[in-house]
């Protein structure tokens, strides 16, 4: 016998019962191609060996059906040896495992059977009308042998009860970005299903139910299917439309039958998708039917006293709508949050969905950085769109809509480029944005923020380093629980600095302002604050940024509507104090008037650090100008830009400078339209933009006169002289 590591093959035979081995490894061990071998995982089975030079030397490729037969997962060690005795079935009975067959389908199934080597209870796959159909050997003579179309085959149309009702092909290795969630599921769910004796010995009951909650598209259903796959359990899915019926009592009956089926086929996992559709809070229930279904579900959950190997898994993206009766101990014992993937998770998800795509010089790590706030479903969609863009670029729509086939050479030459991903990214909308969630997409590099060197340094020290290096801070007994308050005049770039800090820490950025949750109705503002923190938890790790914080955190002693303001401030303080570093929510805020912020927010543990963000200084104006126009054709010389700097006030905010540059661009646009010329910034555009933005200029006459430059001033008469490029 020889031991190998089980991996998923790049291709899988039509029967799903072929094992793929490195050509050299097979020859070294004396295994002939297309010969039957014995495979021993947790269970012993047989399969047909095939050569594959792409398989690593010390590994074997087993498809999902064969992994079910051998009861092994990817990464497990399996033993393979040659069969000393081979034969052909003299008689065999097979049954479908996924669905029952109609009588007229049975001859087609027999005709679709290929030569395959099997043993009793093995699963294999045939193609029926273009769709895969899984079958199981329920009886055979001898115990293993070749199954060929010309032997005595009895096909039972009824679905096999001893089968895995639904065989999920996905494993935890196929899911990226959810390592912590998977670890929690393994501990809570898989261990009790695989080793129930542990709980019997300890005198404890295993968890009865698990509730997965998180936004749509993060992989809750995928996790449930992988759970059943890894635990080698039957998988029974329940959805709302499948249960709900207009006939009185039919919905409750259908639910009872599902639970009875799971108990009969144990070990089983019952998965209730979108459980809020059939188990919403009875206080808000719209009708009697919903209440009856919920009552039946509660009865079934409580009635499984002896269901040691039946686990109920529910999923929802609306946790707050679930009836509280379902969440008590003994029903859904554990709740597991399924978050948005972080940057490493997004890269892993992109690798999974692009593994069969012909990428050329596409940096998946770069796209992982750009796709902050994207779910796994969003990233899969991005890959699909990129493939579509590549097809359009290479062949064009007229060719794609032509019924003529493409040659093999043409298809092999297709490459998916970075530009295809860029085009796809511009066209698709992530789920968070669709739902108007306050998650800011895209990165802002810290170097793109001009000036504010001191503020940048303090932000990195007090926010970025603790987020990126939690192990160092925890070893010192420190945490990143304290927030950062940025204060300074309007337009100095406080929000931009917050976004840049979040990008540098590779976490999401969630910006909110007072109008997002302030309400005149009693209790509504406090409720909105709680919901805000719940949304932040869904997006974690996230920087929660409060813009114009003085509007919501105003000093309670001096605020109008003192009672309303006090209650909002108290709710904010309660939510901030209730969070732990493990929650992954980091606070930032900005204000123009720090003196209006309630002092309770400024103590350590809340906003532990206050950082001043002032206007830009003269020496940074030129850099700002060059950064804003770097990609635009221009005939304006550096000397002219330097002369412009001289005319400005001593201190101007970034927003004011951006407004000046926009005015110059508007003047250029009007001129290009009038002259019908290509886009190009010229000196006359600069002069016109300066006239429109006179409020940014300092006095050129005497200080006492406080004269503002008028429209007909002349550069040549500027008393302060001209800046000269060294």
Mean pLDDT per 10-residue section of the chain, whose length is 726 residues: 80 74 89 89 88 89 83 82 84 84 86 86 82 84 85 82 50 79 85 73 76 86 83 77 70 83 79 82 69 81 65 85 80 84 85 85 85 83 88 77 69 83 80 50 76 89 86 76 84 88 84 74 78 77 86 73 68 81 81 88 85 84 84 87 78 84 91 92 89 68 36 42 41
> Which pLDDT score is estimated for 712?
41
Phi and psi at residue 123, in whole multiples of 5°? -100, 150
Of the candidates 200, 204, 193, 276, the residue with the CA atom closest to the CA atom of residue 227: 193
- What is the Rg, in whole angstroms, of the alpha carbon atoms belonging to the chain? 33
- CB neighbour list of residue 149: distance below 8 Å, 6 or more residues apart: 110, 111, 113
Q: Residue 101: name the closest of 141, 52, 157 by CA.
A: 157
Residue 709's nearest CA partner among 721, 695, 723, 719 is 695
439 contacts 433 by C-beta, under 8 angstroms? yes
Instruction: Tell me how crowded residue 305 is: count the other CB atoms within 10 A of its CB.
Output: 7
The angle formed by the CA atoms of residues 218, 219 and 225, to the nearest 5 degrees, is: 170
pLDDT, position 41? 86
Question: What's the whole-model pTM score?
Answer: 0.59
Say if residues 526 and 571 touch (Cβ distance below 8 Å). Answer: yes
Give residue 700's pLDDT: 40
CA 471, CA 462: separation in Å to the nearest integer? 15
| Sign for the pseudo-dihedral over CA of 20, 26, 30, 34 | positive
Query: HSE of 90 in the Cβ direction (CA atoms, 13 Å)?
Result: 3
Give which of 92, 115, 235 is closest to 167, Cα–Cα: 235
CA angle 322, 325, 330 (to 5 degrees): 115
Query: Residue 437: what pLDDT?
Result: 47
Asked, as a colleague might, if the bond just before 49 is cis with ω within 30 of 0, I would say no
- For residue 451, which of 621, 589, 612, 643 has the smallest C-alpha distance? 621
Q: How far is CA 133 from CA 65, 128, 579, 593, in A?
A: 12, 6, 50, 68
* Spatial CA neighbour of 162 closest among 199, 135, 126: 135
Q: How far apart are alpha carbons 153 and 109 in whole angstroms?
A: 11
Give the residue carrying structure tokens 């802002």.
Answer: 444
What CA–CA distances, in Å, run from 223 to 239, 318, 696?
A: 16, 18, 58
Q: Is 145 helix (H, G, I), strand (E, B) or coil?
A: strand
Q: What is the reported pLDDT for 436?
A: 43
What is the helix (H) or strand (E) element at residue 115, kind and residue range?
Answer: none
423 φ, ψ (degrees, to nearest 5): -65, -40
Q: Quick one: pLDDT at residue 701?
A: 35
| β 585-591/131-141 pair status | unpaired
Can you read off the two tokens belonging to residue 11?
């291709």
Cβ contacts of 570 within 8 Å, gap of 6 or more: none
**121's torsion region: left (phi>0), alpha (psi -120 to 50) or beta?**
left
DSSP state of 21: E
pLDDT of residue 447: 82
> Rounded to an integer, what distance in angstroms lies between the CA atom of residue 625 and that of residue 490?
19
Query: Would you give the end-to-end CA distance of the chain in angstroms?
Result: 79
Specify the pLDDT at position 533: 83
Question: Distance between CA 346 and CA 368 in Å, rounded?
Answer: 5
């Amino acid at each position: 016998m020889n031991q190998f590591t089980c991996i998923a093959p790049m291709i899988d035979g039509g029967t799903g019962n072929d094992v793929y081995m490195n050509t050299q490894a097979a020859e070294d061990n004396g295994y002939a191609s297309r010969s039957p071998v014995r495979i021993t995982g947790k269970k012993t089975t047989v399969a047909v060996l095939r050569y594959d030079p792409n398989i690593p030397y010390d590994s074997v490729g087993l498809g999902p059906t064969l992994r079910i037969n051998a009861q092994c997962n990817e990464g497990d060690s399996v033993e393979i040896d040659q069969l000393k005795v081979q034969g052909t079935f003299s008689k065999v009975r097979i049954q479908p495992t996924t669905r029952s067959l109609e009588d007229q389908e049975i001859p087609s199934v027999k005709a679709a059977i290929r030569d395959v080597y099997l043993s009793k209870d093995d699963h294999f796959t045939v193609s029926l009308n273009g769709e895969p159909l899984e079958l199981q050997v329920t009886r055979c003579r001898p115990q293993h042998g070749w199954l060929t179309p010309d032997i005595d085959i009895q096909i039972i149309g009824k679905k096999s009860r001893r089968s895995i009702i639904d065989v999920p092909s996905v494993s935890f290795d196929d899911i990226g970005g959810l390592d912590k969630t998977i670890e929690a599921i393994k501990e809570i769910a898989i261990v009790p299903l695989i080793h129930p004796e542990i709980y019997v010995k300890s005198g404890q009951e295993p968890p009865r139910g698990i509730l997965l909650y998180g936004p749509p598209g993060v992989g809750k259903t995928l996790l449930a299917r992988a759970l059943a796959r890894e635990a080698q359990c039957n998988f029974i899915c329940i959805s709302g439309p499948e249960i709900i019926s207009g006939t009185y009592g039919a919905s409750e009956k259908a639910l009872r039958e599902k639970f009875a089926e799971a108990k009969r086929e144990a070990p089983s996992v019952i998965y209730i998708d979108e459980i809020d559709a059939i188990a919403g809070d009875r206080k808000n229930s719209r009708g009697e039917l919903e209440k009856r279904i919920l009552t039946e579900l509660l009865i079934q959950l409580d009635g499984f006293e002896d269901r040691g190997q039946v686990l109920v898994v529910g999923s929802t993206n609306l946790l707050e709508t679930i009836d509280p009766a379902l969440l008590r101990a003994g029903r859904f014992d554990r709740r597991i949050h399924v978050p948005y993937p972080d940057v490493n998770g997004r890269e892993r998800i992109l690798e999974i969905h692009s593994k069969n795509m012909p990428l050329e010089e596409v940096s998946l790590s770069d796209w992982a950085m750009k796709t902050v706030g994207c779910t796994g479903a969003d990233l899969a969609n991005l890959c699909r769109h990129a493939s579509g863009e590549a097809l359009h670029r290479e062949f064009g729509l007229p060719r794609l809509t032509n019924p003529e086939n493409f040659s093999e050479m043409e298809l092999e030459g297709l490459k998916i480029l970075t530009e295809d991903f860029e085009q796809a990214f511009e066209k698709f909308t992530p789920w968070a944005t669709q739902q108007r969630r306050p998650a800011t997409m895209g990165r802002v590099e810290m170097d793109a923020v001009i000036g504010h060197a001191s503020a940048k340094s303090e932000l990195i020290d007090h926010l970025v380093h603790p987020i990126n290096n939690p192990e160092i801070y925890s070893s010192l007994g420190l945490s990143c629980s304290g927030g950062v308050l940025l204060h300074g005049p309007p337009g100095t770039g406080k929000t931009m600095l917050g976004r840049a800090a979040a990008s540098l820490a590779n976490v999401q950025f969630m910006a909110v302002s007072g109008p997002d949750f302030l309400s005149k109705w009693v209790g509504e503002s406090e409720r909105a604050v709680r919901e805000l923190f719940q949304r932040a938890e869904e997006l974690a790790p996230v920087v929660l940024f409060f813009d114009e914080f003085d509007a919501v955190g105003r000093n309670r002693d001096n605020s109008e509507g003192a009672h309303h303001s006090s209650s909002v401030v108290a709710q904010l303080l309660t939510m901030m104090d209730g969070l732990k570093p493990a929650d992954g929510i980091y606070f930032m805020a900005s204000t123009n008037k720090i003196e209006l912020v309630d002092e309770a927010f400024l103590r350590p543990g809340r906003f532990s650090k206050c950082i001043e963000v002032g206007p830009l200084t003269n020496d940074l104006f030129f850099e700002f100008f060059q950064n804003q126009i770097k990609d635009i054709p221009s005939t304006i010389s550096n000397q002219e830009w330097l002369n412009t700097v001289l005319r400005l006030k001593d201190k101007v905010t970034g927003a004011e400078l951006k407004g000046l540059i926009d005015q110059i661009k508007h003047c250029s646009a009007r001129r290009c339209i009038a002259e019908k010329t290509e886009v190009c910034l010229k000196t006359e555009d600069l002069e016109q933009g300066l006239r429109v933005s006179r409020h940014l200029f300092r006095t050129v006459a005497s200080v006492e006169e406080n004269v503002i430059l008028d429209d007909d001033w002349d550069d040549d008469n500027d008393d302060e002289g001209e800046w000269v490029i060294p």
